[in-house]
Amino acid sequence: MKVTAILLAAGQGTRMKSNLPKVLHLVAGKPMIWHALEAIKGSTTEKPVVVVGHGADEVKKYMSDSAQTVLQEPQLGTGHAVMQAESLLKGNTDLVVVCYADMPLLRGETLQKLVDLQRANKGPISILTVVADDPRGFGRILRNADGSVQAIVEEYVATPEQQLIKELNVGGYCFDANWLWDTLKRIPKNPKKGEYYLTDAIELAVQSGLSVQALVMDDVQETIGVNTRAHLAEVESAMRARINQQHMLSGVTMIDPASTYIEASVIIGKDTVIMPNTYIHGKTEIGEGNIIGPNSIIRDSKIGNRCKILSSVMEGALLDDDVDMGPFARLRKGAHLGNHVHMGNFGEVKDSYLADGVKMGHFSYIGNAQIGEDTNIGAGTITCNYDGEKKHPTEIGRDVFIGSDTMLVAPLKIGDGARTGAGSVVTKNIPEDTLVVGMPARAIKKLERKQK
Ligand code: UD1
Ligand code: MG
């Protein structure tokens, strides 16, 4: 059986007061519409159709080929929006799931239950409803004396008595496709707003003696639709709690989940401890047994196992195992720290590889460099990699000892076992096992290297 989702995303989102289309606002680091597309994946068999209107170009650009799109212009209501997908879908699907792109908390499992309900339904519609004290402006579900669904009445036209009804229309529907295409044509234009309401399809089914099934959801949170920035914050906080809960259930310790900000795409291994006030963003993958935070920001990075990251920032960086970093270390794009690297306070590394066992304790900048195993980078060392026009590489061998406050003027190669005296300004390559001092540094003696 073919099941296709239609995602409604054409509305203006006026109350967001934003230049950005509403469905592109981020929740847990991903546009709202990404969450909606994720949720429909499990219960549908075909590529979804997104109805776009306001900000259509931007929304289409974001989705590229993850969905088909149809343009709704002008926007004449939810029924009219669904109608726009008919030419694409007629004859190509058995069931149609309709939901809104501004409900990022709606779970895939819930939509799956809705589709299952409709598969078993002899009638043409199943809908999602919820019983809640706060009606949030949602349509009310009217039921017949026998408990069956009779109609949906929008809040602004509901009688005072109907307004008291606590069962609400969430905005998730599953339709028999053939019935839907025929019925959409019969939906009357709403006299007050001049729109075609999808919700009127329910009454049309009931009038024809066909059954409408309702799946009453238990989790009110899932039904929150975003219309304002206040709703956005509410959804963000609920999504954060949900993501954190999932990580905790799979073995991650969080000292204070409320101050732990992990985006939707992050992967974390078991026995990793996340300390408070830590932000883990983007495409980040973290292994097992790490201690991260407090006060750290990690974006688009990969971290091995048993690392410690204290009050530090990493972006586009890679840590192997047992790295000890911080406090106040900064790794920028292309930084790669090998096993057992120690990077202390106020260091910055960019586009560089520090091989296993490198120590860089304090106040250094390493850029466009390759550093060999067990080399020690003294406090205040700087790779002077930029001449105002170009970046130049620095290659430092293994077992090198760079004295405090050394300036390494790139391009430069420093041989294995070399040493620089404190305050050296190195402008020429240093051969293996050579001690250089001064400014500019010059060779003063040949060294004996300790055998390991
Ligand atoms: C709708 C329902 C209401 C339900 C509520 C849940 C109708 C008539 N009412 O009301 O019963 O309780 O959702 O949130 O359906 N959209 C389009 N094109 C349009 C109009 C809307 O794509 O022409 C999209 C919007 O972008 C939005 C969604 O459809 O994602 C819902 O539209 P909205 O105007 O917010 O409907 P509500 O008034 O909230
Ligand atoms: Mg709405």
* Mean pLDDT within 257-273: 97
What percent of the chain has pLDDT above 70? 100
**Candidates 25, 54, 362, 392; catalytic one:** 362
Cα Rg of the chain (Å, integer): 30
Residue 192 shares a structural domain with residue 264? no
Q: Which of 394, 391, 351, 403 is nearest to 372 (CA)?
A: 394
Single residue among 197, 223, 249 that ends a domain in this structure: 223
Q: Which of 100, 163, 221 has most ligand 1 atoms within 8 Å of CB, for mutation?
A: 100
Minimal-distance CA residue to ligand 1 atom 34: 11
State the total domains in the chain. 2
**Model confidence at 255, in pLDDT bands (50, 70, 90)?**
very high
- Backbone CA torsion sign across 79, 80, 81, 85: positive
- Tokens 């039904």 locate to 223
Q: Is 364 in the pocket of ligand 1 (CB under 6 A)?
A: no
**Same-domain check for residues 53 and 168:** yes
Check pocket membership of 171 for ligand 1, CB cut-off 6 A. Answer: yes
Q: Verify that 301 and 198 share a domain, yes or no.
A: no
Residue at which a domain ends, from 164, 188, 223: 223
The residue nearest atom 3 of ligand 1, judged by CA position, is 139
Average pLDDT over residues 421-427: 97
Closest C-alpha among 54, 40, 35, 159 to residue 110: 40
Q: Is 230 a member of any domain?
A: no
pLDDT of residue 83: 98
* pLDDT score for 452: 82
Atom of ligand 1 nearest to the CA of 9: 26
Which tens digits make up the pLDDT trace of 300-346?
999 999 999 999 999 999 999 999 999 999 999 999 999 999 999 99
Spell out the alpha helix ranges (H) of 104-226: 108-119, 160-163, 177-184, 200-207
**Tokens (6 digits) for 264:** 């939707």
Q: State the pLDDT at residue 450.
A: 86
Query: Domain residues for 48?
Result: 3-223
Token code pair at residue 186: 């019969």
Q: Which residue type does 323 have? A: V
240 touches 279 (CB < 8 A): no
pLDDT of residue 136: 87
Cβ of 179 less than 6 Å from ligand 1: no
Residues 159 and 245 in one domain: no
| Torsion, CA 361, CA 362, CA 365, CA 370, rounded to 10 | -10
Q: Is the CB of 172 under 6 A from ligand 1?
A: no
CB of 78 shorter than 6 A to ligand 1: yes
Between helix 32-41 and helix 108-119 the angle, nearest 10°, is 40
Tell whether 231 is covered by a domain. no
Ligand closest to the CA atom of residue 203: 1
In which band, very low, low, confident or very high, does the pLDDT at 442 lie, cut at 50, 70 and 90?
confident
Residue 228 covered by a domain: no
CATH number at residue 339: 2.160.10.10
Distance between Cα 22 and ligand 1 center (Å): 13
Work out the percent of the chain whose per-residue pLDDT is above 90.
95
Distance 225 CA to ligand 2 centre (A): 6
Mean pLDDT, to the nearest integer, of 39-45? 97
Q: How crowded is residue 117: how many other Cβ atoms within 10 Å of its Cβ?
A: 16
Give yes or no for residue 367 having a pLDDT over 90: yes
pLDDT of residue 427: 96
End position of a domain, from candidates 223, 256, 272: 223
302 CA to centre of ligand 1 in angstroms: 41
Is the residue at 409 inside a domain? yes
| pLDDT at position 6 | 98
Classify 90 as helix, strand or coil.
Answer: coil
Tens digits of per-residue pLDDT, 143-195?
A: 999 999 999 999 999 999 999 999 999 999 999 999 999 999 999 999 989 99
Q: Are residues 290 and 189 in the same domain?
A: no
Burial class (CB in 10 A: 0-12, 13-18, 19+), 441: buried
Q: Of 169, 6, 184, 170, which is closest to residue 95 (Cα–Cα)?
A: 6
Kindly state whether residue 411 falls inside one of the protein's structural domains: yes
Q: How far apart are CA 343 and CA 181, in angstroms?
A: 64
8 A C-beta contact, residue 235 and residue 224: yes
CA 168 to chain centre: 30
Q: Are residues 69 and 210 in the same domain?
A: yes
For residues 197 and 79, give the distance between their C-alpha atoms in angstroms, rounded to a whole number: 5
Q: 291, 301, 299: which is closest to 252 by C-alpha?
A: 291
Whether 217 and 265 share a structural domain = no
Find, among 348, 333, 337, 402, the residue nearest to 370 by Cα: 337
Least confident window among 88-92, 201-205, 370-374, 439-443: 439-443
Nearest ligand (C-alpha, residue 223): 1
Is 403 in contact with 378 (CB distance < 8 Å)? yes
Candidates 33, 13, 15, 14; CA nearest to 23 is 33
Check whether residue 182 and residue 267 sit in a common domain: no
Q: Is the CB of 72 under 6 A from ligand 1?
A: yes
Supply the pLDDT for residue 451.
85
The SS3 of residue 274 is strand
Q: Say if 283 falls within a structural domain.
A: yes
**Residues 193 and 314 both lie in one domain:** no
Q: Is the pLDDT of residue 39 over 90?
A: yes
* Residue pair 198/151 in contact by the 8 Å Cβ criterion: no
- Residue 227 C-alpha to ligand 2 middle, in angstroms? 6
**Structure confidence at residue 12 (pLDDT):** 86
| In a shared domain, residues 441 and 386 | yes
Measuring from atom 19 of ligand 1, which residue has the nearest CA? Answer: 77
**What's the pLDDT score for residue 306?**
98
pLDDT at 15 exceeding the cut of 90: yes
* Ligand 1 contact via 266 beta carbon (within 6 Å): no
The mean per-residue pLDDT over the stretch 10-20 comes to 93
* 249 and 383 part of one domain: yes
What pLDDT does residue 335 have? 98
Please tell me if the CB atom of residue 51 comes closer than 6 angstroms to any atom of ligand 1. Answer: yes
Candidate from 7, 35, 78 with most ligand 1 atoms within 8 A of CB, to mutate: 78
Q: Is 25 a catalytic residue?
A: no
Mean per-residue pLDDT for 130-147? 95
Q: pTM of this prediction?
A: 0.91
State if residue 151 touches ligand 1 by the CB under 6 angstroms criterion. Answer: no
Same domain for 9 and 68? yes
Q: How high is the mean pLDDT of the chain?
A: 97
CATH number of the CATH domain containing 60: 3.90.550.10
CA distance 313 to 277: 12
Q: Does 426 score more than 90 pLDDT?
A: yes
In a domain, 232, yes or no: no
Tell me if 234 is assigned to some domain.
Answer: no
* 99, containing H or E segment: strand 95-100
Query: Distance between CA atoms of 190 and 196, rounded to whole angstroms?
Result: 6
